[in-house]
């Protein structure tokens, strides 16, 4: 009673993403690994369920790339090569894992963080994200992603590829104080200063 149901395809534009820059912080976990070692080690199903790649949580730089810039109405990047992003010189910064949040510091005092809330029975991962450009705002969003595997040619050889694709997003707001609950195919976003009633998101709506 008193709840609104929102389909994924009608969601508002997703999170504000500032430009990622190099930051080296003591005590952060470095996900960067040699390309050869990563390429020879397959990613297990259990790792994906836990939102991990080669024994480490997915790098926040890879999650950031799936967002939409403030000046844009639509995202530019829809899918990420997880190994390529992890090894890229464009995402060299280490990151911290604290209290369930995976956080990366950005140039200029900003930061980005995500929390993995779980995965639906058909493989949709639900992420709660937070982003700060260095000011007082902390912009919160939900991001939905799915993993797919394929095999691609790389120069004169082939490699297995893990692709992370954005399948939906929802803007929460600046310092949203609503409680988020996730259970299988159902996300409930609690009342806050932005909502007078709970909002329900059904991941399998229309199927």
Q: Per the domain annotation, does 47 fall within a domain?
A: yes
Which pLDDT band, with edges at 50, 70 and 90, does 154 fall under? confident
Read off the pLDDT of residues 14-49 as tens digits, 9 standing for 90 and up. Answer: 333 333 333 333 333 343 433 333 344 556 778 899
Measured in whole angstroms, the distance separating CA 47 from the mean position of its chain's CA atoms is: 15
Tokens 């949203």, located at residue: 176
53 falls within a domain: yes
Torsion of CA 178, 139, 106, 19, to 10 degrees: 140
Q: Is residue 24 part of a domain?
A: yes
Is the pTM value of this prediction over 0.85?
no
Residue 68 to residue 13: CA distance in whole angstroms = 7
Range of the domain at 137: 11-176
User: Is 199 domain-assigned?
Assistant: no
């Amino acid at each position: 009673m008193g709840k609104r149901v929102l389909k994924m395809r009608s969601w508002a534009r997703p999170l504000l993403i500032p430009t990622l820059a190099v930051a080296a912080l003591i005590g952060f976990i470095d996900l960067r690994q040699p390309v050869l070692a990563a390429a020879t080690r397959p990613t297990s199903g259990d790792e994906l369920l836990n939102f991990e790649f080669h024994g480490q949580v997915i790098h926040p730089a890879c999650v950031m790339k799936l967002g939409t810039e403030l000046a844009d109405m639509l995202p530019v990047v829809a899918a990420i090569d997880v190994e390529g992003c992890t090894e890229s010189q464009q995402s060299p910064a280490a990151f911290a894992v604290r209290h369930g949040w995976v956080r990366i510091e950005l140039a200029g005092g900003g930061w980005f963080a995500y929390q993995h809330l779980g995965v639906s029975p058909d493989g949709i991962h639900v992420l709660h994200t937070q982003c700060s450009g260095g000011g007082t705002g902390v912009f919160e969003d939900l991001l939905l992603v799915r993993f797919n595997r394929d095999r691609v040619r790389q120069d004169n050889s082939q490699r297995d590829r893990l692709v992370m694709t954005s399948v939906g997003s929802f803007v929460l707001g600046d310092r949203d104080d609503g409680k988020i609950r996730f259970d299988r195919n159902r996300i409930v976003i609690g009342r806050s200063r932005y909502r007078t009633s709970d909002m329900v998101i059904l991941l399998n709506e229309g199927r």
